[in-house]
Structure 1
Amino acid sequence: MNNAGFVMHFDLEYLDPNTGKFTECGPDSGNFPINQTGVVDLESSSVPVGASARPLVHADGGVNNPGDTLVQYAQNGQTATYEVQGTTLDYSVKLISG
């Protein structure tokens, strides 16, 4: 949910259990403006089932910020929702349901 003062897009990153580092992957949500929601289905991503994942938000004209909470990917039909608030250089990406 984009409740921030900028156009944004996001992709995904997951914690690679082999390296202990985050790996960025797609698909990308595409750009969407304030007061809109972007969705990415993890089944169409390269995130392995069981991996811990989060969105990586890209503010147009600003910085990139990851979600504050990791969620474990399972093929169970559930949705994790993150809310983005702030400005291009100072914003949060908080898990609000999931």
Structure 2
Amino acid sequence: MEATNTEESYLRHVEKDVLIPKMMREKAKERCADKVEAFTHCCKESGFLMPFKCREENSALKECLTQHYQDPLFFEECKKQYIQEKLEFEKTGIPAKNRKQKLPTSM
């Protein structure tokens, strides 16, 4: 049996089933930002009546998020980004969230 030389073959169970889906959720929230905002606004306005008054906004948000979660191309996109960030971390030892911070221009 021939071994494949792809980074995907080295992904652990937790990466495939937890970390990449977590990235998908975060990116899906960004892509559904208008629906997240509408639902959040409705909740703030409705108080304890939120379950009754915000059904439409909640349904639209769930539909948008589910559409992304079930998209195999979106999973592949997130997986590639995860692998890229993982390889960069292995090279530099700096987590992606810290790499995104601006470096000071003067020392």
Q: TM-score with structure 1 length normalisation?
A: 0.22
Structure 2 length as normaliser, TM-score? 0.21
Which has the larger helix fraction? 2
For the pair shown, the structure with the greater C-alpha radius of gyration is: 2
